[in-house]
Structure 1
Amino acid sequence: MYSHRSAVNEDYKTISLFPQDARELFFVYPKGSYPLTAAKLQEVAQSRVNPLVVLDNGVIVGYGNLYDVSEDECWLGNVIIRPSYRGKGVGRYLIETMKAYAKSELSVKRFRLVCHNINTKALLFYTKLDFKPFDVKVMTDNEGNEMIGIKMEVRL
């Protein structure tokens, strides 16, 4: 069974190695450049709410945080799972943990995220967790390619 805790500065070196290429990093952190550095990830985390790591017997296997928290909504960001743990329930554990925090600690009613149209696995995953699309935005990746960011939410 997985556990979780707040991320600490020493965690970011490990987490920064999770994105396997520039495209994957774009999905996690659209403003980032590959390879991601621990310092950059730590800098981003300082402006976020509840940076959280998921652990398997003390090993960091997942990461995420919240941003743009308002009275009734918050946004999930920077979600990344250790490559060897993908498809093993870490993402579900992370999302459910973050949703519980958002509901109990932030008292928000809407839990939101942006998922890119070309990230089919993530779209399927979030749909299984009852996220529903509510808007779209045009985005440009770090190579100048346009894509759609699908805004999704689940009610808490």
Structure 2
Amino acid sequence: PDPWDARSLEWMTASPVPEHNFDETIEVERQDEFWHRKWGKDETGRVVRRATAEEVAHDGSNTNVHLPSPSYWPIVAALGLPIIGYGLIYNLWLCVVGGLFVLGGLYGWVFEPVDDPNADGHHDDDSHGNSDEPRAEEIDENSSEEVSVD
């Protein structure tokens, strides 16, 4: 998933990217966290490889992440915003119509059932997140594979 030995976190997700991104929130301790998980310094101060990108990257195998139920109410609320904008320019009565769309969409969105078990994005088991992903502090700094970067 990382053909350029990149530094940034977007290379830690699987390709193609799952709709939920990461299974758990990643703790970022450095600006180039992904690079520091792959590379480190040995006792002499040389930069050496700690792990490959495939070992550090999220593989996307655990897709049992609880997502909210799909909803059309945010679209209804968003539809009212341009109507309000047109109303401010052309006719104030359009603001009332747009406001009704926004209020109706927000009302429906707030009172919509949070967990619909038959909706897409839900799963049967309660496993959330993949705890098999190595963390930065768990990667052995004295790895036997040493690649010098000069």
TM-score, L = length of structure 2 = 0.23
Task: Considering fraction of residues, name the structure with more strand.
Answer: 1
Task: Considering fraction of residues, name the structure with more helix.
Answer: 2
- Name which one, 1 or 2, has greater alpha-carbon Rg: 2
Greater RCO (Cα-Cα under 8 Å, separation 6 or more): 2
